[in-house]
Amino acid sequence: MLNLLPLRRFRVADTSMQPALRPGEGVFVATWLRPRVGDIVVLRDPEWHLTYTVKRVAALVPGGIEVQGDNVNVSRDSRHFGVVPLTCLVGRVIYRYGRL
């Protein structure tokens, strides 16, 4: 499904981005912005394609990005599934707000 909306809203579902983001908080995502190292992004999980996940960009590599959760002890990220293709990237988080 192709989504052309320039701004999307997501809810943080797990603890992998604590302390930056907590479960239940919401984020606005700009779909037109390219990722930079250090940015928080939303992406489709490369193994579980129906699941969206929030991670921090650790590196920009040919063909994709490496992502990592801030809470490395519980995060499932590029250390587990490798480089994420840019086709899985939804966009950069530009704003966070309280629990929904």
Can you tell me the distance from the alpha carbon of 96 to that of 100, in angstroms, rounded to the nearest whole number? 11
Can you tell me the distance from the alpha carbon of 29 to that of 80, in angstroms, rounded to the nearest whole number? 24
Residues 41-72 pLDDT 10s? 999 999 988 999 999 999 999 989 999 999 99
Percent of the chain with pLDDT over 90: 86
Mean pLDDT score of the chain: 92
Q: Which of the four pLDDT bands, split at 50, 70 and 90, describes residue 98?
A: confident
- Tell me the domain boundaries of the chain: 7-99
Task: Judge whether residue 6 has pLDDT over 80.
Answer: yes
Give the global pTM: 0.90
The CATH architecture of the domain made up of 7-99 is Ribbon (2.10)
> Under a CB-based contact definition with an 8 Å cutoff, are residues 63 and 85 in contact?
yes
Could you tell me which residues are beta bridge partners of residue 68? 56
